[in-house]
Structure formats: C-alpha cells, structure tokens
Amino acid sequence: DTGVSQNPRHKITKRGQNVTFRCDPISEHNRLYWYRQTLGQGPEFLTYFQNEAQLEKSRLLSDRFSAERPKGSFSTLEIQRTEQGDSAMYLCASSLTGRTDTQYFGPGTRLTVL
C-alpha cells in the first residue's frame, strides 16, 4: 500500500490556460473522489467515481471542469480556460465502497492561476 499519489504537487498557470491533474488511488479501492480546498476552509466535494463510472458531480463543477477515470484506475481532472477563482488545493481521495469506509487522501495539487 503506497497511498494515494497526486501529480503535480504545484501548478502555476496563466488565466485562460488549460491544466490537468493526475491522481493514483490505492490499488484495491474502487471509489475515487476529487475535492477542492481553499485557504481557511474545509474541503468541498467536486465529484466521485465508482470504478470507471462518474456517479456524482457537485454544482461547483462547472462546464470547464472534466474528470475521467479510464479503466477504473488513475483519474485526471482537467480545468479548461482557468480563472483566478480556480486557485485552490485540489485533493484526491480513494476508499472502498461503504459509507463508513475511510477516505484516504493524497497530498494535493496546489493550483495558482495568475
């Protein structure tokens, strides 16, 4: 068990550019989640996958955001036409299927949009 990994750890981009983040979950976990965290706040749910199926998306996830999890393994989160308001820490977590199962978090990707 190597834990959840995320790449890159930091991303600085200019407004209007596209960015893509990657998350590698714990291998036996079939659920994968994306959250966003801004300074001084708790994480906010964005979306989650059960295996390769994206089952829920938050209203926070505008049309500029898209997430994929091909073959139920790693996941990518893409933000198109970035805005300064997208600056945040993007967290990925994975878990087994139950409501009581612990979500294990990666170290996050910090996005700064200039």
Partner 1 sequence: AQSVTQLGSHVSVSEGALVLLRCNYSSSVPPYLFWYVQYPNQGLQLLLKYTSAATLVKGINGFEAEFKKSETSFHLTKPSAHMSDAAEYFCAVSEDYQLIWGAGTKLIIKP
Shortest distance, position 106 Cβ to partner 1, whole Å: 5
Shortest distance, position 54 Cβ to partner 1, whole Å: 11
Shortest distance, position 67 Cβ to partner 1, whole Å: 14
Q: Is 106 in the site for partner 1 (CB under 8 A)?
A: yes
Q: Which two tokens stand for residue 22?
A: 């990657």
Among 26, 44, 54, 72, binds partner 1 (CB under 8 A): 44
User: Which is nearer to partner 1, 88 or 93 (by Cβ)?
Assistant: 93
User: Which is nearer to partner 1, 92 or 113 (by Cβ)?
Assistant: 92
Nearest to 73 by CA among 29, 109, 7, 107: 29
Q: What is the spatial distance between Cα 3 and Cα 25, in angstroms, rounded to a whole number?
A: 7
Nearest to 49 by CA among 57, 61, 58: 57
